[in-house]
Amino acid sequence: MDATYSGSHKMSGNRACAEGGLAVGCRFLAYYPIQPCFEVVQHFSERCIDVEGTFIQMEDEISALAAVLGASWSGMKAMTVTSGPGFSLMMEHVGLGVMLETPCVIVEVQRSGPSEGYPTGSGSGDVMQSRWGSHGDYEVIVLSPNCPQEMFDMTVRAFNLSERFRSPVILLADKAVGSMEEVVMIPKSEEMSIKKRKRFSGPKEKYHPYEYDKDLVPWMVKVGQGYRFHVTGLTHDEKGYPVMSEQCQEWNVHRVIGKITLFSDEIIDYEEGHTEDAEILVVCYGSVSRAAVRAVRQVRKEGVKAGFFRLKTLWPFPERRMLELAEQVDTILVPEMNYGQLFLEVDRCSRGKAEVEFVHQEFSQVRSGASIIKAIKKVSVKA
């Protein structure tokens, strides 16, 4: 049976995420119960019977991600789903996934925190955790959807990027996007672009799990098919065996970082509007971006030269374009459902070329955009 409900459907962002995973070939989901992402798991588990997929509830979030890493090495496309507290517990294995260079997808539907926080409230407080949550030097890919359609599309893209770069990829949504219902267009399987895993095809005795070519990405094989090798989170050589030396550590980490930073143009994605003459720029992402874009369009009708820069990829951050825009505008506003996280990155990348101001967003303000309009008008009066 076709893995997708091809056609037009009204569904929540969480259900669209599950369908995106199924459509791109994900057949394994490991999970530990947490809100507000349960609907993703519920829909995936219900559809498993149609596609011969596997759903497993683990004893905690740490083991859930461990199961996903193992499933990926067995040849399956695999994912896990969580929210802030569970994401914190997964961080040890996020780092392991990076060092093992294991393709997989982590869906994080953000809620209000810290700690248990407000489980049914929305937030954007895990932006910096998604980038810096694990220890050591590493790069990570983080996507930010703002509607159910993008929950589908970006889940597909997350899997494609994970296969391309042999790395965990994080889909960082928020509760507002996960819960909202809109029409989602699901293409037929033959119309989708699906990235295949980079598989080794030489003699089995010649395989090394961390041997790579010009794209810095090693080949993979399926565990249990006669290949003799070792994988470990320790500093290792191309065979996967631990080697405790500064030279080998540099060989590991330099490439794990470089395979993403040197090819970041393939990853970074954003949308901008009215930036050609903007004097005030609103940098936005996630559900807040919907209100921010409406706010910019509203004030332009009133003669205010405002523009928007919506981030579809949070990490790697689009540093070059951010600096170009900072050199062009007078003020940059960063509305977020937190107390200032991506704001810090925008400020850093602007290098003092523009004034950067944070605009706190409460969940109840997100739909109206009134506070963003107020902030834009306040800045325009000063100018």
CATH number of the domain that residue 179 is part of: 3.40.50.970
Single out the residue of 129, 138, 135, 128 nearest to residue 102, CA to CA.
Answer: 138
Domain coverage including residue 75: 7-191
User: Are 150 and 289 contained in the same domain?
Assistant: no
User: Are 26 and 145 contained in the same domain?
Assistant: yes
The pLDDT assigned to 383 comes to: 61
The pLDDT assigned to 229 comes to: 82
Q: Does the pLDDT at position 341 exceed 60? A: yes
pLDDT 10s digits, 301-340: 999 999 999 999 999 999 999 999 999 999 999 999 999 9
Tell me if 246 is assigned to some domain.
no
Tell me if 222 is assigned to some domain.
no
Domain boundary among 191, 223, 256: 191
Tell me if 242 is assigned to some domain.
no
Residue labelled with tokens 């100018």: 383
> Left (φ > 0), alpha (ψ -120 to 50) or beta: where does 115 sit?
left
pLDDT 10s digits, 94-106: 999 999 999 999 9
Tell me if 264 is assigned to some domain.
no
In 3-state terms, what secondary structure has residue 135?
A: coil
What average pLDDT does the chain have? 95
**Can you tell me the mean pLDDT for 273-282?**
98
DSSP characters over 166-210: TSEEEEEEEHHHHH-EEEEEE--GGGS--PPP-B--S-GGG--TT
Q: Does the pLDDT at position 167 exceed 50? A: yes
> Kind and range of the H or E element at 250?
helix 246-261
Q: In the structure encoding, which two tokens stand for residue 129, read together?
A: 């955790």
User: Are 18 and 140 contained in the same domain?
Assistant: yes
User: Are 24 and 152 contained in the same domain?
Assistant: yes
Torsion of CA 131, 134, 140, 143, to 10 degrees: -50
**Can you tell me the mean pLDDT for 112-137?**
94
| Under 8 Å between Cβ of 236 and 100 | no
Give me the CATH number covering residue 351.
3.40.50.920
Q: In the structure encoding, which two tokens stand for residue 280, read together?
A: 């005030």
User: Are 277 and 170 contained in the same domain?
Assistant: no
Residue labelled with tokens 């770069």: 165
> Kind and range of the H or E element at 275?
none
Q: How many domains does the chain have?
A: 2
Using pLDDT thresholds of 50, 70 and 90, give the confidence band for residue 254: very high
The pLDDT assigned to 362 comes to: 86
CA distance 162 to 105: 7
Domain boundary among 144, 170, 191: 191
pLDDT 10s digits, 187-231: 998 899 999 999 999 999 999 999 999 999 999 999 989 998 889
The pLDDT assigned to 1 comes to: 38
> Kind and range of the H or E element at 120?
strand 118-122
Domain boundary among 162, 191, 220: 191
**pLDDT > 70: what percent of the chain?**
99
CA distance 23 to 268: 23
DSSP state, residue 218: B
Tell me if 291 is assigned to some domain.
yes
User: Which segment of 170-184, 225-239, 265-279, 357-371 scores lowest on mean pLDDT?
Assistant: 357-371
User: Which segment of 183-197, 208-222, 257-271, 361-375 scores lowest on mean pLDDT?
Assistant: 361-375
Using pLDDT thresholds of 50, 70 and 90, give the confidence band for residue 4: low
